[in-house]
Amino acid sequence: MLLQQWWQLFNSTDVFNPLTLVPLLLTISFLFKLLRTWKLNLPPSPPKLPIIGNIHQVGKLPHRSFRALSEKYGPLMLLHMGQTPTLVVSSAEIGKEIMVAHDVFVERPQIRVAHTLFCGCTDIAFSAYGDYWRQAKKICVLELLTQKRVRMFQLVREQEVSRMVENVRQCCHNGSEIVVCEMLETIANNIISRSVLGRVYEREDGNKGFEELSRKAMDLLGSFCFEDLFLNLGWIDVLTGLASELERVSNELHAFLDQVIEDHLAMMNEDGDDDDTSENKDFVDILLRLQLDGKLDISLTQDNLKAIILDMFIGGTDTIAATLEWTMAELVKNPSIMKKAQEEVRTVVGKKQTISEIDVNEMHYLKCVVKETLRLHAPVMVSRQNSKATKLEGYDIPPKTTVLVNTWAIQRDPKLWDKAEEFIPDRFLNSQVDFRGQHIQYTPFGAGRRGCPGITFAVAGAEYVLANLLYWFDWKLPDSRRCEDLDMSDYYAIVIRKKEFNVDFYGDQMAVHVPFSLEVQAEARLLVFSHMNLFSPAIGDPISILTQDMFIGHYVLTSGNLRGICANRYNPWNRKSYQN
């Protein structure tokens, strides 16, 4: 009887009214979490707002926002990005502990976009730590990205760079400006395409279909996704259009890769070639041969192959392009460094018509320039996730906490680097500090087991492209613009790139461009051959003036045109400047 009266009283209230029940459940859930974490010693954290947490304190440039916040709250800082606890690390020592020493921080956050694009995160970058990841990385390290394989692809680099040099030279002859950003993205895409897929895939209209799709995929990886931060609000991604765009790009990418794999299998059946050491083999060939020969410790499905191939392509293209773009921008901004690098390149190469891999290995200052670029403009922030609750620096770290090691801030730390905000390649001369993860203050590609396996491949491509750009051309800002006026702003989209596209006008047409790409001009390097003395032309000698592909004319060497020749500045559409 008493129980019946109690039930009638309870049922007469509005507790089951949806308008009452939802806030009540949310309150209970909040109190439960509060009680659960009450006794935890969590890292310092900025004040947060209900529901969104600290999202409002992180702008479009999270690497800069994180550094500003860490200066106030310390090098180990806990943010709440919606419902996702995020640990931001701005200390080299703590970063090493996470990337190298701590076994618990070996997972990667599996975000929605990566899960869709990489077939359930079965690539290498986002794959869950375990047997599959170990075997997949082993394939990359021992089969795809060895020193031997990198050398085998030197011919690819030489051919694509030769085409790039020819395109730049034609722009010089036409008197047009060089679209640097577009040029560097194209060369990075072409090198990676031929190495990974075997050739550069273009649409029938001439547009680079796969390049466009991979760029959209990269943009999606850096986009804001509600499901990643608010577990129960994934439906909002449908309203914003992210879900449909992700599905469309993913379907197109997978259909394209299915066709690539089918084409490779057909070629393998026709050729009957089982020599996987051939220099003509690309990554797809190598993976398919390993799969067909049963030499793998794991069974790779078609989706696994597509995930690994896409991982290689997207990761390689964007990293190389960003490194090249930042390096060219810094060289243009610092003419004295540009001059020193050019003098080394031209001294090493001499009068040869092509630059070899051996030549690049002797360009020690050029290597320092690339190292300094990767220091000042770290491509990524290293992401990790702890698989279980752990202790770090005396603080309690809850399980499934996203960890971001802000390498961009660490590599600009004035406590670790002299004149940290300045571009000084000389700091790496006679220095053992390298980017392969052995030095805690310098980890642009990460470190430890989940460090980037493609360092050698990426750096080899970047160095070879830069050597050719510096050897064949002089680069400067047009219209007497000051070097210090060059805009060095950046933007964040997984990889930290130079400033976003702006809109400008060319004649009657509107064009989208990167400001830096419009501010750089190149002048073709002059080749002078003396009819009397091949290596040391003297005053009065008959000479021939030509570029690599174009004969200019026969002249007599005078003191006036000798000064112009020594300056390596020749205007091919103004021949009178070199006539007697």
Question: Is there a contact between 42 and 78 (Cβ–Cβ < 8 Å)?
Answer: yes
CA 43 to chain centroid, in Å, comes to: 31
Tokens linked to 304: 């696994």
452 annotated binding-site participant: yes
Three state DSSP letters for 175-193:
CCCCCHHHHHHHHHHHHHH
Give CA–CA dist 112/221, Å, rounded.
9
Strand partners, 498: 490
Tokens linked to 131: 């047997």
Nearest Cα to Cα of residue 143 among 312, 260, 318: 312
Give CA–CA dist 113/507, Å, rounded.
40
Per-position DSSP letters for 146-163, written without gaps between them: SHHHHHHTHHHHHHHHHH
Give CA–CA dist 409/415, Å, rounded.
11
Tokens linked to 104: 């618990």
Q: Kindly state the DSSP code that residue 73 receives in the 8-state scheme.
A: H
Provide the residue count of the chain: 580
Residue type, 69: L
Question: Is there a contact between 514 and 180 (Cβ–Cβ < 8 Å)?
Answer: yes
Give CA–CA dist 491/231, Å, rounded.
27
- Containing H/E element for 167? helix 154-174
Residues 6+ away with beta carbon under 8 Å from 479: none
Nearest Cα to Cα of residue 85 among 399, 366, 340: 399
Give CA–CA dist 437/451, Å, rounded.
7
Residue numbers in the known binding site for heme are: 452
Task: Please state the residue numbers annotated as binding site.
Answer: 452
